[in-house]
Structure 1
Amino acid sequence: MSMFQRGAGMFNTLLRPVLGAPVVGKFLSGSLAEVTYVGRKSGRRVELLVSYKRRGDEVLIAVAMPDKKTWWRNFYPDGSQIGIVLDGVLRTGRALARKDGKRVTVKVELDPIEQA
Protein backbone atom coordinates (compact mmCIF):
# COMPACT_ATOMS: atom_id res chain seq x y z
CA MET A 1 0.00 0.00 0.00
CA SER A 2 1.44 3.35 -1.01
CA MET A 3 1.80 6.38 1.23
CA PHE A 4 -0.96 8.09 -0.78
CA GLN A 5 -3.35 5.17 -0.19
CA ARG A 6 -2.60 5.17 3.55
CA GLY A 7 -3.25 8.93 3.68
CA ALA A 8 -6.53 8.53 1.80
CA GLY A 9 -7.56 5.78 4.20
CA MET A 10 -6.85 8.00 7.20
CA PHE A 11 -8.77 10.86 5.56
CA ASN A 12 -11.80 8.59 5.06
CA THR A 13 -11.60 7.30 8.64
CA LEU A 14 -11.46 10.81 10.11
CA LEU A 15 -14.08 12.40 7.87
CA ARG A 16 -16.70 9.61 7.87
CA PRO A 17 -18.02 10.45 11.40
CA VAL A 18 -18.13 14.16 10.54
CA LEU A 19 -20.58 13.45 7.70
CA GLY A 20 -23.04 12.16 10.30
CA ALA A 21 -22.72 15.23 12.54
CA PRO A 22 -25.86 17.41 12.66
CA VAL A 23 -24.51 20.78 11.45
CA VAL A 24 -21.22 20.06 9.70
CA GLY A 25 -22.56 16.84 8.15
CA LYS A 26 -25.42 18.64 6.43
CA PHE A 27 -22.98 21.16 4.97
CA LEU A 28 -20.54 18.52 3.71
CA SER A 29 -23.10 15.96 2.53
CA GLY A 30 -24.02 18.18 -0.42
CA SER A 31 -20.62 17.50 -1.97
CA LEU A 32 -19.18 14.45 -0.18
CA ALA A 33 -20.74 11.01 -0.10
CA GLU A 34 -19.78 7.52 0.96
CA VAL A 35 -19.85 4.93 -1.81
CA THR A 36 -19.86 1.16 -1.37
CA TYR A 37 -19.14 -1.51 -3.92
CA VAL A 38 -17.78 -5.04 -4.22
CA GLY A 39 -14.28 -5.24 -5.67
CA ARG A 40 -14.27 -6.90 -9.08
CA LYS A 41 -11.12 -8.94 -8.39
CA SER A 42 -11.06 -9.17 -4.59
CA GLY A 43 -14.77 -9.77 -4.05
CA ARG A 44 -14.50 -7.61 -0.90
CA ARG A 45 -16.86 -4.83 0.08
CA VAL A 46 -15.20 -1.41 -0.18
CA GLU A 47 -16.38 1.86 1.40
CA LEU A 48 -14.84 5.24 0.62
CA LEU A 49 -15.68 8.92 0.49
CA VAL A 50 -15.94 10.76 -2.81
CA SER A 51 -16.73 14.25 -3.98
CA TYR A 52 -19.75 14.38 -6.26
CA LYS A 53 -22.26 16.49 -8.18
CA ARG A 54 -25.86 15.42 -8.52
CA ARG A 55 -28.53 16.16 -11.10
CA GLY A 56 -31.76 14.31 -10.33
CA ASP A 57 -31.11 10.58 -10.58
CA GLU A 58 -27.62 11.06 -11.99
CA VAL A 59 -24.48 11.44 -9.87
CA LEU A 60 -21.15 12.44 -11.37
CA ILE A 61 -17.90 11.69 -9.55
CA ALA A 62 -14.76 13.35 -10.91
CA VAL A 63 -11.82 11.17 -9.87
CA ALA A 64 -8.98 13.40 -8.68
CA MET A 65 -5.53 11.99 -9.45
CA PRO A 66 -6.90 8.84 -11.14
CA ASP A 67 -3.41 7.49 -11.83
CA LYS A 68 -2.89 7.21 -8.04
CA LYS A 69 -6.26 5.51 -7.40
CA THR A 70 -7.59 2.12 -8.40
CA TRP A 71 -11.18 2.08 -7.12
CA TRP A 72 -12.68 3.55 -10.29
CA ARG A 73 -11.33 0.67 -12.36
CA ASN A 74 -14.06 -1.53 -10.87
CA PHE A 75 -16.47 0.44 -13.08
CA TYR A 76 -14.32 0.58 -16.22
CA PRO A 77 -15.11 -0.20 -19.00
CA ASP A 78 -18.33 -2.18 -18.39
CA GLY A 79 -19.75 -0.62 -15.22
CA SER A 80 -21.05 -2.29 -12.08
CA GLN A 81 -23.44 -1.87 -9.15
CA ILE A 82 -22.70 0.77 -6.52
CA GLY A 83 -24.25 2.12 -3.34
CA ILE A 84 -24.06 5.81 -2.44
CA VAL A 85 -25.32 7.63 0.64
CA LEU A 86 -27.23 10.76 -0.41
CA ASP A 87 -29.12 12.91 2.11
CA GLY A 88 -28.50 10.23 4.74
CA VAL A 89 -30.14 7.50 2.63
CA LEU A 90 -28.32 4.61 0.95
CA ARG A 91 -29.21 4.62 -2.75
CA THR A 92 -28.18 1.99 -5.26
CA GLY A 93 -27.36 2.37 -8.90
CA ARG A 94 -25.13 1.45 -11.78
CA ALA A 95 -21.76 3.16 -12.11
CA LEU A 96 -19.75 3.48 -15.29
CA ALA A 97 -16.25 4.98 -15.43
CA ARG A 98 -15.12 6.92 -18.46
CA LYS A 99 -11.55 7.91 -19.37
CA ASP A 100 -10.89 10.99 -21.45
CA GLY A 101 -7.14 11.42 -21.65
CA LYS A 102 -5.94 11.83 -18.07
CA ARG A 103 -9.43 12.72 -16.84
CA VAL A 104 -11.66 10.04 -15.29
CA THR A 105 -15.31 10.42 -14.32
CA VAL A 106 -17.68 7.90 -12.81
CA LYS A 107 -21.32 8.40 -13.75
CA VAL A 108 -23.91 6.79 -11.49
CA GLU A 109 -27.46 6.23 -12.71
CA LEU A 110 -29.51 5.84 -9.52
CA ASP A 111 -32.11 3.09 -9.23
CA PRO A 112 -35.67 4.31 -8.65
CA ILE A 113 -36.71 4.64 -5.01
CA GLU A 114 -39.11 1.87 -4.10
CA GLN A 115 -42.29 3.15 -2.47
CA ALA A 116 -43.50 1.22 0.57
Structure 2
Amino acid sequence: MNLLQRAARLVNTVVSPLARSGRLGPMTEIGYVGRRSGREVRLPVAFLPEGDGGVIRVELPDRKTWWRNFTGEGAPLWVRVAGADRPGHGVAVRDGRQVRVDVRFG
Protein backbone atom coordinates (compact mmCIF):
# COMPACT_ATOMS: atom_id res chain seq x y z
CA MET A 1 0.00 0.00 0.00
CA ASN A 2 1.49 3.34 -1.03
CA LEU A 3 1.39 6.59 0.92
CA LEU A 4 -1.59 7.97 -1.04
CA GLN A 5 -3.60 4.81 -0.35
CA ARG A 6 -2.80 4.98 3.36
CA ALA A 7 -3.77 8.65 3.52
CA ALA A 8 -6.98 7.95 1.58
CA ARG A 9 -7.91 5.17 4.00
CA LEU A 10 -7.53 7.57 6.93
CA VAL A 11 -9.48 10.36 5.22
CA ASN A 12 -12.21 7.92 4.14
CA THR A 13 -12.64 6.78 7.74
CA VAL A 14 -13.51 10.35 8.71
CA VAL A 15 -15.42 11.37 5.57
CA SER A 16 -17.57 8.23 5.08
CA PRO A 17 -19.95 8.88 8.00
CA LEU A 18 -20.45 12.46 6.84
CA ALA A 19 -21.02 11.33 3.24
CA ARG A 20 -23.60 8.75 4.40
CA SER A 21 -25.42 11.46 6.34
CA GLY A 22 -25.91 13.61 3.21
CA ARG A 23 -24.22 16.62 4.85
CA LEU A 24 -21.43 16.97 2.29
CA GLY A 25 -23.36 18.12 -0.77
CA PRO A 26 -22.50 15.87 -3.72
CA MET A 27 -20.51 13.49 -1.51
CA THR A 28 -22.08 10.13 -0.88
CA GLU A 29 -21.00 6.56 -0.31
CA ILE A 30 -20.74 3.73 -2.79
CA GLY A 31 -20.24 0.06 -2.16
CA TYR A 32 -19.14 -2.82 -4.35
CA VAL A 33 -17.46 -6.21 -4.16
CA GLY A 34 -13.78 -6.10 -5.12
CA ARG A 35 -13.09 -8.05 -8.29
CA ARG A 36 -9.89 -9.56 -6.92
CA SER A 37 -10.43 -9.60 -3.16
CA GLY A 38 -14.09 -10.60 -3.19
CA ARG A 39 -14.58 -8.29 -0.21
CA GLU A 40 -17.18 -5.57 0.14
CA VAL A 41 -15.68 -2.12 -0.23
CA ARG A 42 -17.32 1.14 0.82
CA LEU A 43 -15.92 4.55 0.04
CA PRO A 44 -17.01 8.17 -0.18
CA VAL A 45 -17.24 9.71 -3.65
CA ALA A 46 -18.67 12.80 -5.32
CA PHE A 47 -21.78 11.55 -7.14
CA LEU A 48 -23.49 13.75 -9.70
CA PRO A 49 -27.06 12.54 -10.42
CA GLU A 50 -27.91 12.38 -14.10
CA GLY A 51 -31.06 10.81 -15.58
CA ASP A 52 -31.67 7.37 -14.04
CA GLY A 53 -28.19 7.18 -12.60
CA GLY A 54 -25.25 9.48 -12.35
CA VAL A 55 -21.55 10.03 -12.72
CA ILE A 56 -18.63 9.57 -10.35
CA ARG A 57 -15.57 11.54 -11.42
CA VAL A 58 -12.32 9.90 -10.37
CA GLU A 59 -9.67 12.35 -9.22
CA LEU A 60 -6.03 11.27 -9.73
CA PRO A 61 -7.08 8.02 -11.45
CA ASP A 62 -3.54 6.81 -12.07
CA ARG A 63 -2.92 6.82 -8.33
CA LYS A 64 -6.12 4.96 -7.44
CA THR A 65 -7.24 1.44 -8.16
CA TRP A 66 -10.87 1.20 -6.99
CA TRP A 67 -12.35 2.39 -10.28
CA ARG A 68 -10.69 -0.47 -12.16
CA ASN A 69 -13.37 -2.74 -10.70
CA PHE A 70 -15.70 -1.13 -13.23
CA THR A 71 -13.63 -1.45 -16.42
CA GLY A 72 -14.84 -3.40 -19.43
CA GLU A 73 -18.51 -4.26 -19.02
CA GLY A 74 -18.54 -2.81 -15.52
CA ALA A 75 -19.83 -4.30 -12.29
CA PRO A 76 -22.69 -4.02 -9.81
CA LEU A 77 -22.55 -1.40 -7.08
CA TRP A 78 -24.82 0.53 -4.80
CA VAL A 79 -24.99 4.26 -4.21
CA ARG A 80 -26.39 5.98 -1.11
CA VAL A 81 -29.05 8.39 -2.43
CA ALA A 82 -31.40 10.32 -0.15
CA GLY A 83 -30.53 8.09 2.80
CA ALA A 84 -31.15 4.80 0.99
CA ASP A 85 -28.85 2.43 -0.88
CA ARG A 86 -29.77 2.16 -4.56
CA PRO A 87 -28.45 -0.81 -6.53
CA GLY A 88 -26.97 -0.12 -9.92
CA HIS A 89 -24.29 -0.92 -12.43
CA GLY A 90 -21.11 1.10 -12.91
CA VAL A 91 -18.90 1.29 -15.99
CA ALA A 92 -15.53 3.08 -15.96
CA VAL A 93 -14.81 5.33 -18.93
CA ARG A 94 -11.33 6.70 -19.55
CA ASP A 95 -10.83 9.76 -21.75
CA GLY A 96 -7.14 10.60 -21.81
CA ARG A 97 -6.17 11.43 -18.25
CA GLN A 98 -9.75 11.68 -17.01
CA VAL A 99 -11.78 8.78 -15.66
CA ARG A 100 -15.42 8.63 -14.69
CA VAL A 101 -17.70 5.83 -13.59
CA ASP A 102 -21.10 6.01 -15.25
CA VAL A 103 -23.80 4.60 -12.97
CA ARG A 104 -27.20 3.35 -14.07
CA PHE A 105 -29.73 2.32 -11.46
CA GLY A 106 -31.59 -0.87 -12.16
TM-score range normalised by the length of the shorter chain = over 0.9
RMSD between superposed Cα atoms in Å: 1.3
- Listed as ranges, the gaps of 5+ residues in structure 2 are none
- Structure 1, residues 12-68: CA drift from partner, whole Å, max 9, x if none? 101122235xxxx4441x301111001111111111111121123221011000000
- Listed as ranges, the gaps of 5+ residues in structure 1 are 112-116
Query: In the alignment, is residue 106 of structure 1 matched against residue 101 of structure 2?
Result: yes
Question: Which of 30, 34, 38 is matched with 1:35 structurally?
Answer: 30
Counterpart for residue 79 of structure 2: 84
Q: Which amino acid aligns with 2:17?
A: P
Identity %: 41
Query: What is the number of residues matched between the two proteins?
Result: 106
Q: Which amino acid aligns with 2:53?
A: E
Counterpart for residue 14 of structure 2: 14
Question: Which of 53, 75, 96 is matched with 2:70 structurally?
Answer: 75
> What is the TM-score of this pair, normalised by structure 2?
0.93
Any runs of at least 4 consecutive aligned residues in structure 1 with deviations exceeding 3 A, and if so which?
none
Q: Distance in 1 between matches of 2:36 and 2:22?
A: 34
Counterpart for residue 2 of structure 1: 2
Higher strand proportion: 2
CA displacement at 1:109 relative to structure 2: 0.1
